[in-house]
Amino acid sequence: MITYTVYERADGESNVALRADSIVFVKEGFAWLALFVPMLWMLFYRMWLVLLAFVIIMLVVQAAATAAGFGEMLAGWITLGASLLFAFHANDLRRWTLARKGYAFAGLVTGRNREECETRFFDGWLATQEADHVPPAPGPGEPQKIVTPQPPAPPRQKGTRDDDVIGLFPEPNT
């Protein structure tokens, strides 16, 4: 099972569709891409302060290893260890960056893959958004909107061609 923490903008956008577009899912655990290409990973997620700190730390580590007389081999191992340490904490640093950008924790979701996690989260999230959204009462002088319930769709009859191919495709059996 995969676990994601979910964040949404805390600025209180009233449009549910815009709020849904700005929701961010951050995977819990180790970030493999952050291990192999840490700087590109930080650039992709726009983690500018983390990138700056990472570059400074790596330069200091390299300079200290060179000044101490360690060989290039040991300096490479130290760099690999620092990258490994970063990969373990990369998603935590991403959460910290999101908090600095004004995102708030919206939930925690688990599933077999990212798609399932997104589906589970949005099923619950949209239900709470619809429950929270109550249309405003009409003001003085505004006409009251009357909503009539729609009748249910008639049941499908056997032998109808509703399940045939539709669209720009040719008719079946032609």
Q: Which residues contact 43 (CB under 8 A, 6 or more apart)?
A: 51
| Residue 50, domain extent | 2-132
pLDDT at 56 over 60: yes
Q: How does DSSP classify residue 147?
A: -
Q: Number of folded domains in the chain?
A: 1
Arithmetic mean of pLDDT, 38-48: 94
Q: What is the model's pLDDT at position 143?
A: 63
Question: Does residue 86 fall inside a structural domain?
Answer: yes
DSSP codes joined into one string, 70-125: --HHHHHHHHHHHHHHHHHHHHHHHHHHHHHTTEEEEEEEEESSHHHHHHHHHHHH
* pLDDT, tens only, 65-101: 888 887 778 878 888 898 999 999 999 999 999 999 9
pLDDT at 12 over 80: no
Question: Does residue 89 fall inside a structural domain?
Answer: yes
* pLDDT, tens only, 110-161: 999 999 999 999 888 888 776 655 555 555 666 655 555 556 666 655 555 5
Pair of tokens at residue 96: 């910290």
Question: Does residue 77 fall inside a structural domain?
Answer: yes
Question: Does residue 44 fall inside a structural domain?
Answer: yes
More reliable by pLDDT, 26 or 71: 26
Question: Does residue 166 fall inside a structural domain?
Answer: no
Name the packing angle between helices 48-67 and 72-100 (round to 10°). Answer: 160
Q: What is the model's pLDDT at position 168?
A: 59
Question: Does residue 138 fall inside a structural domain?
Answer: no
